[in-house]
């Protein structure tokens, strides 16, 4: 099922159940998606990848807010942002285990014939679209860096 349809279905369910927070989070996410569609231009709906990137962006915003509110001692807002983050994460694909990520990275390295740290950018360019939404870019970068260091 396309992510946008899933968002709509989840929002309707949350409305029936009276889950105001979930309805609010999904509405904000759908508004972000709509804004991206408008900026992309008429008759150009977002791809599933672009919708997923919007969800990822929203989760990053919540993580940043949690960090800032924690530093500011606003634990009430931290709790709210944490709940919103948990709702958003249900719309992301299952994260890869470290082993799965290493296997996928090794296959890309072999496929490209990458031989050392100088090829990190090329490997990342091919690997990131395959793991978007499933792993954080910094974790992927570290795995690529480690595996390329071993292969050189």
Q: Report the percentage of the chain scoring pLDDT > 70.
A: 99
Q: What is the pLDDT of residues 6-25, one digit of tens each?
A: 999 999 999 999 999 999 99
Instruction: Say what the pTM is.
Output: 0.74
* Structural domains of the chain ordered from first start: 3-89 (1.10.1510.10), 98-151 (1.10.10.410)
Q: What is the pLDDT of residues 97-145, one digit of tens each?
A: 788 888 888 888 888 777 777 877 888 888 887 777 777 777 878 888 8
Q: How far is 73 from 79, CA to CA, in rounded Å?
A: 12
15 CB burial (10 A radius; 0-12, 13-18, 19+):
middle
Query: Looking at the predicted structure, is the pLDDT value of residue 92 above 90?
Result: no
pLDDT at position 151 is 66
pLDDT at position 16 is 96
CB atoms within 10 A of CB 54: 22
Please answer whether residues 104 and 130 qualify as being in contact, where contact means their C-beta atoms are separated by less than 8 angstroms.
yes
What does 18-44 look like in DSSP terms, one character per residue? T-HHHHHHHHHHHHHHHHHHHHH-TT-
């Amino acid at each position: 099922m396309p992510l946008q349809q899933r968002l709509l279905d989840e929002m309707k369910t949350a409305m029936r159940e009276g889950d105001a927070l979930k309805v609010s989070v999904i509405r904000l996410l759908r508004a972000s998606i709509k804004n991206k569609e408008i900026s992309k231009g008429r008759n150009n709906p977002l791809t599933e990848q672009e919708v997923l990137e919007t969800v990822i962006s929203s989760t990053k915003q919540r993580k940043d807010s949690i960090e800032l509110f924690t530093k500011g001692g606003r634990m009430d807002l931290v709790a709210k942002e944490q709940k919103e983050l948990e709702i958003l994460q249900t719309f992301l694909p299952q994260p890869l285990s470290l082993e799965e990520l290493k296997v996928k990275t090794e296959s890309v390295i072999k496929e490209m014939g990458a031989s050392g740290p100088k090829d990190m950018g090329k490997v990342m360019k091919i690997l990131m679209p395959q793991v978007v939404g499933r792993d954080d870019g910094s974790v992927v970068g570290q795995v690529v860096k480690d595996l390329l260091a071993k292969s050189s």
